[in-house]
Amino acid sequence: MSEDKEAQEDELLALASIYDEDEFHRAESAQGGEMQLCLELPPDFKIIVKGDTKTEYNVSFLPPLVLNFELPADYPSTSSPSFTLSSKWMTKAQMSTLCRRLDELWEENQSSVVLFTWIQFLKEETLDILGIMSPLEINRGGSKAGGERKKTDPAVTGSSLTGSHSKSMEEQIVEEKKKKSEMQLMSSQLDPRAVLLRDPHVDPLPQLLDFDEGQRQRVFDSKVFCCGICFVEKLGSSCLCFKECQHVYCKACMTEYFQIQIRDGNVQCLNCPEPKCTSVATPLQVKELVNDELFARYDRLLLQSSLDLMADVVYCPRLTCGTPVMVEPDTTMGICAACQYAFCTLCKLGYHGVSPCKISADELRHLRDDYLSATAQEQKFMEQRFGKRVIQKAVEESFSRDWLEENCKSCPRCGTNIQKVDGCNKMTCTTCKQYFCWLCLGALSKVNPYGHFNDSRSPCYNQLFQGVDVDDDDDFLSDEDD
């Protein structure tokens, strides 16, 4: 007995020295412990989760097999260790096969310590003995495999079946007995020491992917990388790895980089510093490196930039509101859900129906210039946002205003646009009949309109025909024809 106890103690101490605390945990109240056994998967190993649709995922790690054992007093001289084997992704049939193989290994090594042999077998040979290869199919939870068979009364079923393909009551009873015996045989082959740790009604995919991500991060944290910015070698735990491109930089450099970009409002530019690389940091990575205030600004600007790219979203023009507003296609009316303000999406003033927008010439020209200089895709986006007819009207009206500004002047009395085609600089408004000077736009006396050009104190003195080509044979228009 003392030799058995000494052998047990030596074996447990050896396991503790070989494996770290995450892999081996020794029991406190008994001679035993627990082993977490992560299987070594081949490169590019994939899992397929079966459900309504089949989805394929690349994984590097699967949740470990858990070997719980207790050493009886007469181990290893007489008895083998008591154990259970559990898993979150294997079936009970697969684990039962492993349990039987562990028993065989004990028989082959009877009277010798066997735990290390078991552990090495489970870690190195499990995939081969079970025939597990990529892609590994895993059933989604929430449904019973094969569906639920509807229970029927053999007598009722037999009496309702007619024709050559119907089965007699005796045949159905024989089939039921055969299925029952098959189920009993399958149940007898399942080892009670095989424990399924997963609820069959729960989707296993999130657990598998979370474990794989956690193990990948642990491996990354333990490696050493050289930052491409400061050229200092640091552990992965002090570095950031961009998900898409796998380029690695230290967190100190990336923190400073992110802070500058967010303060400048460039939330779409938190990309990998590698030249020509388009990978972008995830919001979770940004949150890890910047303070709460900067992350709140990043989150707000990122949402705003996303909304800006949506053709059917505008912002309430009220300075105290600014709420995003969904607008219907082919309309210029927006109604803010927060403040109930109805506004025109083009001029941002109160909604004015079919009346033209009251916007300045500069604003209209800016809209026209943006539209004319845009690409076909950008023009389509503007047409969706403001309406194609509104854009066309804005362009036409802007061109008209430009032409009027270049070729016409406004009457100083009523503001009517007047174009000078020919004649002297004394003009007559076509609307209000006011006389005015074309050069200085000053109103002229109805009694003596030419006095303005004959007065030496006038800025337009002796400039009645300034800028006019005069031919000796031409007769000038009378006052009534101006």
For the residues of 201-212, what is the DSSP string, one character each? Answer: TS-SHHHHHHHH
Cα separation, 393 vs 403, whole angstroms: 15
Confidence (pTM): 0.51
Do the domain assignments include residue 292? yes
Could you tell me which of 210, 195, 191 has the C-alpha nearest to residue 63?
Answer: 210
Q: What is the pLDDT of residue 474?
A: 47
Identify whether residues 42 and 118 lie together within a single domain.
Answer: yes
Which DSSP string corresponds to 72-137? -TTTTTTPPPEEEEEESSS-HHHHHHHHHHHHHHHHHTTTS--HHHHHHHHHHHHHHHHT--SSEE
Taking phi over 0 as left and psi of -120 to 50 as alpha, with beta for the rest, 355 belongs to beta
Residue 293 sits in the same domain as residue 255: yes
Q: Is 63 in the same domain as 30?
A: yes
Which of 255, 278, 308 represents a domain boundary (last residue)?
308
Asked if the structure places residue 242 within a domain, the reply is yes
The neighbour count for residue 364, using CB atoms within 10 Å, is: 23
The 10s digit of each residue's pLDDT in 285-312 is: 999 898 999 899 888 888 777 766 666 7
In a domain, 162, yes or no: no
Provide the pLDDT for residue 174: 62
- Whether the CB-CB separation of 69 and 83 falls below 8 Å is answered with yes
Residues 9 and 110 in one domain: yes
**pLDDT score recorded for residue 80:** 92
Among the options 411, 424, 429, 460, which is catalytic?
424
Same domain, 471 and 400: no
Give yes or no: residues 302 and 375 share one domain.
no
Judge contact between 135 and 46, C-beta under 8 A.
Answer: yes
Same domain, yes or no, for 16 and 129? yes
Extract the residue ranges of the chain whose pLDDT is less than 70.
1, 50-53, 139-188, 307-311, 356-365, 384-390, 394, 398, 400-402, 469-482
Among residues 407, 432, 462, which one ends one of the domains? 407
Q: Report long-range pairs for 445-451 (Cβ below 8 Å, ≥24 apart).
A: 449/479, 450/426
Report yes or no on 380 lying in a domain: yes
Residue with tokens 């950008």: 378
Phi-psi region of 387 (alpha: psi -120 to 50; beta: other; left: phi over 0): left
Between CA 380 and CA 333 the distance in angstroms is 19
Same domain, yes or no: 107 and 18: yes
Distance CA 339, CA 323 (A): 9
Q: What integer pLDDT is reported at residue 148 of this predicted model?
A: 37
Domain boundary among 378, 407, 436: 407
Does residue 350 share a domain with residue 329?
yes
Strands 194-196 and 82-87: parallel
pLDDT digit string (tens) for 61-75? 889 999 999 999 999
Q: Is 198 helix (H, G, I), strand (E, B) or coil?
A: coil
User: What's the domain count of the chain?
Assistant: 4
Q: Is 424 considered catalytic here?
A: yes
CA 158 to chain centroid: 57
Q: What's 23's domain CATH number?
A: 3.10.110.10
* 195 closest CA partner among 109, 324, 303, 66: 66
In this structure, how many other beta carbons lie within 10 angstroms of the beta carbon of residue 326?
Answer: 12
Specify if 457 maps to a domain. yes
CA distance 48 to 258: 37
Residue 396 lies in a domain: yes
Instruction: Give 419-458 as a DSSP string.
Output: E--SS-SEEE-TTT--EEETTT--B--SS-TTHHHH-TTS
The SS3 assignment for 326 reads strand
Secondary structure element (H or E) that encloses residue 417, with its range: strand 417-419
Radius of gyration of the chain (CA): 43
Continuous segment of H or E residues that includes residue 285: helix 283-289
- Looking at the structure, tell me whether residues 18 and 76 fall in a common domain: yes
Q: Does 149 fall in a domain?
A: no
Is residue 402 located within the same domain as residue 447?
no
**Amino acid at site 373:** S
DSSP H/E element including 287: helix 283-289
**Claim to verify: residue 47 and residue 7 sit in the same structural domain:** yes
Place of tokens 């362009």: 395
Residue ranges making up the domain that contains 351: 316-407
Answer whether the bond into residue 76 is a cis peptide, omega within 30°: yes
Q: What is the CATH number of the domain that holds 289?
A: 3.30.40.10
Nearest to 40 by CA among 132, 123, 138: 123
Question: Do 344 and 325 contact (CB within 8 A), yes or no?
Answer: no
CA dihedral 384, 389, 390, 392 (to 10 degrees): 110
**Whole-angstrom Cα distance, residue 240 to residue 229?**
12
Helix (H, G, I), strand (E, B) or coil at 35: strand
In a domain, 218, yes or no: no
CA-CA distance, 67 to 424, in Å (whole number)?
A: 109
